[in-house]
Amino acid sequence: MTELTNFLQGELLLTGTLFALIVLFIANIYSDKLKKYQVVDTNGAISLMDDDDLIILDVREDKERSSGFIKSAIHIPMAQVKGKLDSLDKSKKILTYCKSGTRANRIAELLCKNQFENVYSLKGGFDAWQKQGLPIKK
């Protein structure tokens, strides 16, 4: 035990790095469990679309949307969502998507922080949707 203590004291940088990695690993595990929104794959998104009250929110930029979009999607670029929260119905389910899923996750988190309860994010975003050969509008 003394040898281990001496080693750890002698290698403070190594010990600090190890401790930081352990903390980050634990935080990563619990952050997924604390999410208030759900990440769904394309099949999950299609299931959600059976609900007529679903809001599909495209948070991509205008130039990205020109390549196509999911039918019935409302387009509000990410930078504008915060200012347009009042235009969205909190009682409805909301599916967010972007190009790859990263921005959609951030918007899903924003929606949850603003008392939206049924929030979903499309895993892999529009890229995943297209990869599956699912219908798009142009």
Task: Please indicate whether residue 112 is annotated as part of the active site.
Answer: no
Query: Is the alpha carbon torsion for 38, 41, 45, 47 positive or negative?
Result: negative
CB 58 within 8 A of CB 99: no
Which member of 70, 98, 108, 128 is catalytic? 98
Instruction: Please state, in angstroms and rounded to a whole number, the distance separating the CA atoms of residues 79 and 93.
Output: 21
Q: Which two tokens stand for residue 54?
A: 């679903």
Q: Which residues are catalytic?
A: 98
